[in-house]
Structure 1
């Protein structure tokens, strides 16, 4: 079953956050289990971001979370945030793709 993790955070240092994410991708090449990611920015709150990350399963997400590289990036991410990031762990109950129209 597909699993989605939502990471919601505020930062005044988005460029550094982007570099950190790029570093994570390089460091976890061949190890990470995420399959899809949306990095979003809130139009109403200029310092607010939401990352939506897809995994093939909860177990795969936990394997990704347990990687030393993930733990290091999470700690450094917290340093770049104003306040504590919020994590939502969501089991996908149903997913649909709709044609435009």
Structure 2
């Protein structure tokens, strides 16, 4: 069953986070277990961000979290944040594909 992790945080140093994401992608090539990622910015709160990361299972997410590269990036990310990061671990209990009108 699909598992989604939300990573919510605030930062005024967003331009320093972008290279960090690229570094993570390169460093975890062939190791990471995530299947889809959205990096989002809150339109109503200027320094508020939410990353939405999809995994094939909770176990896969935990394996990804244990990668040394993930821990390294998470520690550096925390240094760049003014609030958070806060993690929400969500089991997908229902999924509906929609066709737009």
Normalised by the size of structure 1, how large is the TM-score?
0.98
**Which structure 2 residues correspond to residues 16-35 of structure 1 after superposition, within 5 A?**
16-35=16-35
Partner of 2:36: 36
How many correspondences in the alignment? 101
| 2:70 alignment counterpart | 70
Moved over 6 A (4+): none
The runs of 5 or more residues in structure 1 that have no matched partner are none
- Is the 2:8–2:84 contact (alpha carbons within 8 Å) kept by the matching residues of 1? no
RMSD: 0.5
Does the 8 Å contact 2:36/2:54 carry over to 1? Answer: yes
1:88 paired to 2:88: yes
Q: Please, what TM-score do these two structures have when normalized by structure 2?
A: 0.98
TM-fit CA distance, 1:84:
2.2
User: Deviation of residue 4 (structure 1)?
Assistant: 0.2
Q: 1-side partners of 2:40 and 2:77: how far apart?
A: 16
Alignment partner of 1:55 is 2:55: yes
Distance (Å, rounded) in 2 between the aligned partners of 1:43 and 1:84: 18
